[in-house]
Structure 1
Amino acid sequence: MKTDTRHIILCDNVALPDSLTGTTPNHRVLRLINREGLANRNMSVKIHSFASHLQSKMPNRTRDLIEIAAFIYAADRQIKRGTTDQVEFTSWARELVFCIPVRDLFFWQQADITKQLEDALIFITGDKSYQFHFTKRIGLDPLTSLFHNDEIASEPMNTAVTCPVALFSGGLDSLAGVVSLLEKTSDKVIITSHRSNSATTRVQKRVYDALKQAYPSRLFYHPLECTLTNVRASEETQRTRFFLYTAVGYALAQAYGQNELNIFENGITSINLSKRQDVINGRASRTTHPKTLGLLQEVFSSVASRPFKILHPFLYWTKTEVVASLKQYNQQGLITATVTCTKTFLGFKNRTTASHCGYCSQCVDRRFAMYASQLDKHDAIYDFDLATEAFPCNDARTQVVDYMRHAHSFATTHFGEFCESYLDPLADLTAYIPSCKEEEEVTKLHELYQRHSAAVQRAYRRMVDTHYSIYGPPLPNSIYEVVNDRRFQRDRAQCLADDIAQMLTSTIPIALASTKVNHENALNDQIQALLKRDGAAYEREYPTVRFSFSTVVPDHSSTNADSDLFIEAKYIRRSTPPSKVTDQLAADIMKYPPGTYKLFVIYDPERRIKDDTGFKRDFEKRSNSTICVVR
């Protein structure tokens, strides 16, 4: 079946199988070359410091696994999902067919093995499907740049000694995890990291050097590089990066005689609960989700032909508790070396020495955790300081409001409501968390989110105590204004409706000052122009909403991933009785599903509505709607 989302990836000059001929246009056939000596090589995979005494412990099947993961990652970087506002499952999901040469063909061709791979990748990426066509790798198999020693000296070690193996990103959680391993054992600790760009490499080197100084001769470090060469990446979500990362972690654990791999991330980030299914399928990260780890554990156990465990020690820890563990071990001085920010590629203008933007979701989470644990004095430098400055852009305010809204929702959610609201994601969680009783696990998860909410409140109180005085001037457009207005307690769609209403109230009178509106279509033309002025995603007369046996088409709607907002415009003429508008609004409210939010823009130049407050109050308190009266 031909679809716009289907792509075929031919790896290391594998020929297109007859069964796939004609199923996909040539422009959706991607050719990836990793092996040295082949023409048009466009990707490179390197594991630094993988010494010769470990190479001999790398079975062909494990080499295959790393190369399969590398091909998948390279394809992920080159095959575009869609634009950032196309977040629904059907818009973002791709169908990827890989044709890959392998050494252990019998193993990889087994139906249950390919099914394990496909299931893991579909969940990790949110893609629609993965298919694999494996062929026998032919010719000599010389050592390639997969293993080399040009940067970090590696010494032979006794692989019979138990040495924990961990993933190491250079972030705060992985730092705390590696420190906890070093503190709990006197053995060596083996770490690996993925270097995706030069900035990431610098950060990881800096954190590694700080760890070496704090724990001399205790670390074995094997960084991984997997990069595209002579081609520019077109997709930056990099969902399959974690599969490659953990595959190398598995290979290292096996080479060092271990059957466990440690992964460190706080439970709130790992679980990443979201009520919206389209966000879950399309955009929500599943990198360290327990189901992801469980599915990968199944793959690695099959490759090893024995049980292999992926450990997640911080699953029931909040970010604040992770940070506090560094204080417990008296290693808070290492914090400044780490980078959590997702926007370092932008460059910083407010503070040129900053290492963090200060307002991306990761920065906001880190900032609150540092204040909650009373370690804010040990934190990094932020281009925007949310505790002392006004928001530099709308995105900054949105990130903070959403973060506080998320915490508030769990602070006010009792156990039964928690179970009901998150029934499906909790089912995915409990199925992959070792436990005797499901209810006990859900209880622990509920308590985790309750502690997170409490930590957010502690962090805000410390910000106020440290930086905000009731005797000083108010700081407009800041976190303190957000809290004072209780904006985070309102639904996203309601906040969006309020913002639009405020904007239209001030701009429509100006736009129509010298223009007489003769009909509602002309009014909607003006509203559409004003909504589109900042490039926001709004649609005119879309989508159709089903109601019983009929449909309703909104005048405008928001296509933002985080809110469903429908906008209706009404024009009250001199001859229009206000009761008619009341009847129209009541009828429109009934046509929309109960969970949707509505914004009604009432253009009333003749002042037919005598009591705006009473008119709006009666509607707004009975339905999910905002009434905006404009003159």
Structure 2
Amino acid sequence: MTRYVLAPLLGPSDAFDPAPRGDERIHRFDILHDGHLRLGIKSALSQLRKAEGVPTGHGFELLLLATLVSLADTRINRARSSQDGWTREIGLYLPVSDPASWNPAKPILERMLRFLTGDLWTVDFRPWVGDLGRTRLQGRLMIPTFNAVSLFSGGLDSLIGAIDKLEDGTENIYFVSHKADGAISKPQNDLYDLATRNFRNRFPMRLAFPTGKVQDVFPELGGENSTRGRSFLFIALAAFAGSALGTPFPIYVPENGLISLNVPLDATRLASNSTRTTHPFYFHRWNELLTTLGIAGTVQNPYWDKTKGEMILECSRPDILKATAGLSISCAKPAHGRWEGSSEPHCGYCLPCIIRRAAFLKGAEVMADPSRYRMQDPANSDLDSTNKKGEQYRGFEYAIERLRQDPTRTRSFIYKTGPLVEDLDKIEGLEGVYSRGMEEVKAFLKGIETISSEADT
């Protein structure tokens, strides 16, 4: 099986040209332009400086690594590069100032990326060449304007997380976002501006990381839209920013407990169909990596034991939530509306949309669902379980029926997506949030039925 390897170069004088190891295809490409790093890093450094922050060397290099991960993840097509239609072999060469300090991180990185994306990763480090392109990180003494970092994706959970943290006021939060395509970035910007308008006295700031543009990365393979590596870039961006503090800091990743566990709805969804972007095991690996690199951040989910509906009910400022929730986007594929000739941002039938709809039903005493769905009324829609519009609905029906038949299987179900050996003190809480989350969905599905066209043939 071919391993596809990205080997970035630091300007035209960089002669780095690694020999292929076995069946490898190596793509060498320059990541410098006019003496500055491309891939969005120049913008990130500039934005962080506006918050009086200068990252550490490892923080800077971690963000560079994350941009390479994202590049590989989105430019190497799974179907064309793998033998099983999913698992790719991907290699990266990361230029760093001190490869020896990164070597202990190698097994951690490869393990966490394997868990996150389902691919086989090889990460190697090579010496940084020259001064060009590497920002002088040891500048004047600066004291950042923040002491905590929180992810802001533009989804409902990150919105509630931002409202709760700003209302609490005990920390100066620096929000970080990844700007994807226009279907996400504009609503994300509008949502942030509207949500923080009520907290101008707290001077909230945000780092919005642009998507780097690199052409002709294994062009014969085509792109990939599963984007499992996006959360690695997202959290790395938070660590990059927080490394400027030089003291311990939290990295908040607001996510409801049901989607965080993401228990597969049936056996066919265990691998490729079960995302792990906020799973507790993945967060432990992040904290292990940050410790190894000397970055004093701790990745944590404040809502690990809350359902999405409970987050709505318990939001500290329901008035702000009512005014802003309609701009939040939970849909797995919001850009697909363009292909379907619709301006509605939510499909209404993917797994995150179903959980969102169920959550607003749970939180109806706080607010009605303000979302615009392309499939408005699932009860009066032909939900064929053999196509995308009925697949997830049928999956939830199946999972809920399994729980009804034997509620004691909850504990075994929450172990399906990943190890929880480091969270034994939270097992009861994890069981509880899974059960309550499924009850929310069950209440929403009342009166909704799926059919199978295959059963009629």
Give yes or no for TM over 0.5: yes
Q: Residue 243 of structure 1: which of 228, 232, 235 is its match?
A: 232
Within 5 Å, give how 1:202-601 maps onto structure 2: 202-218=186-202, 219-231=204-216, 234-256=223-245, 257-274=247-264, 279-304=269-294, 308-326=297-315, 329-331=318-320, 332-347=322-337, 352-374=342-364, 377-386=368-377, 389-391=380-382, 394-415=387-408, 417-420=409-412, 423=415, 425=417, 428-429=419-420, 431-433=421-423, 438=424, 441-460=426-445, 480=447, 482=449, 499-503=453-457
Q: Tell me the SS of whatever aligns to 1:134.
A: strand
Instruction: Verify: 1:102 aligned to 2:102, yes or no.
Output: no
* Whole-Å separation in 1 of the counterparts to 2:132 and 2:339: 50
Shift of the 36–349 alpha-carbon distance from structure 1 to 2, 3 Å rule, reads closer
Shift of the 96–323 alpha-carbon distance from structure 1 to 2, 3 Å rule, reads same
Question: Deviation at 1:330?
Answer: 3.0
Q: Which amino acid is the alignment partner of residue 94 of structure 1? A: R
Tell which has more relative contact order, 1 or 2 (C-alpha 8 A, sep 6+). Answer: 2
The normalised TM-score by structure 2 is 0.85
Query: Hey, what does 2:23 align to over in structure 1?
Result: 24
Query: Hey, what does 1:62 align to over in structure 2?
Result: 59
Shift of the 359–134 alpha-carbon distance from structure 1 to 2, 3 Å rule, reads same
Shift of the 351–184 alpha-carbon distance from structure 1 to 2, 3 Å rule, reads farther
Q: Tell me if structure 1 keeps the 8 A contact 2:262–2:417.
A: no
Equivalent pairs, count: 438
Residue-by-residue CA offset, 1:85-136 (whole Å, 9 max, x unaligned): x9xx95421222222221222212x2x2211111111111111x32233221
Q: Tell me if structure 1 keeps the 8 A contact 2:331–2:350.
A: yes
The normalised TM-score by structure 1 is 0.63
Q: Tell me if structure 1 keeps the 8 A contact 2:250–2:297.
A: yes
* Whole-Å separation in 2 of the counterparts to 1:248 and 1:502: 50
Q: Tell me if structure 1 keeps the 8 A contact 2:274–2:417.
A: no
Query: Hey, what does 1:49 align to over in structure 2?
Result: 47
- Alignment root-mean-square deviation, CA: 3.3
Residue-by-residue CA offset, 1:341-375 (whole Å, 9 max, x unaligned): 22322236999552222222221211111112115
Instruction: Verify: 1:132 aligned to 2:123, yes or no.
Output: yes
Q: Tell me the SS of whatever aligns to 1:133.
A: strand
Q: Which amino acid is the alignment partner of residue 410 of structure 1? A: L
Instruction: Verify: 1:199 aligned to 2:183, yes or no.
Output: yes
* Whole-Å separation in 2 of the counterparts to 1:14 and 1:125: 31
Q: Tell me if structure 1 keeps the 8 A contact 2:347–2:353.
A: yes
Q: Tell me the SS of whatever aligns to 1:223.
A: strand
Question: Deviation at 1:286?
Answer: 0.7
Instruction: Verify: 1:121 aligned to 2:113, yes or no.
Output: yes
Question: Deviation at 1:454?
Answer: 2.6
Question: Deviation at 1:387?
Answer: 5.2
Q: Tell me the SS of whatever aligns to 1:227.
A: coil
Q: Tell me if structure 2 keeps the 8 A contact 1:318–1:448.
A: yes
Shift of the 230–99 alpha-carbon distance from structure 1 to 2, 3 Å rule, reads closer
* Whole-Å separation in 1 of the counterparts to 2:455 and 2:445: 29
Question: Deviation at 1:385?
Answer: 0.9
Q: Which amino acid is the alignment partner of residue 49 of structure 1? A: Q
* Whole-Å separation in 2 of the counterparts to 1:352 and 1:425: 34
Question: Deviation at 1:143?
Answer: 5.9
Residue-by-residue CA offset, 1:30-73 (whole Å, 9 max, x unaligned): 2343222489x984443262216745x32222211111111121
Q: Which amino acid is the alignment partner of residue 381 of structure 1? A: R
Shift of the 143–99 alpha-carbon distance from structure 1 to 2, 3 Å rule, reads closer
Q: Tell me if structure 1 keeps the 8 A contact 2:91–2:122.
A: yes
Q: Which amino acid is the alignment partner of residue 62 of structure 1? A: G
Q: Tell me the SS of whatever aligns to 1:222.
A: strand
Ranges in structure 1 where 5+ consecutive residues have no aligned partner: 147-155, 462-479, 488-494, 504-631
Please identify the structure whose Cα radius of gyration is greater. Answer: 1
Query: Hey, what does 1:491 align to over in structure 2?
Result: none
Identity %: 21
Q: Tell me if structure 1 keeps the 8 A contact 2:155–2:329.
A: yes
* Whole-Å separation in 1 of the counterparts to 2:440 and 2:317: 17
* Whole-Å separation in 2 of the counterparts to 1:184 and 1:408: 40
Query: Hey, what does 1:591 align to over in structure 2?
Result: none
Shift of the 361–104 alpha-carbon distance from structure 1 to 2, 3 Å rule, reads same
Residue-by-residue CA offset, 1:370-390 (whole Å, 9 max, x unaligned): 112115634122222135642
Q: Which amino acid is the alignment partner of residue 198 of structure 2? A: A
Q: Tell me the SS of whatever aligns to 1:255.
A: coil
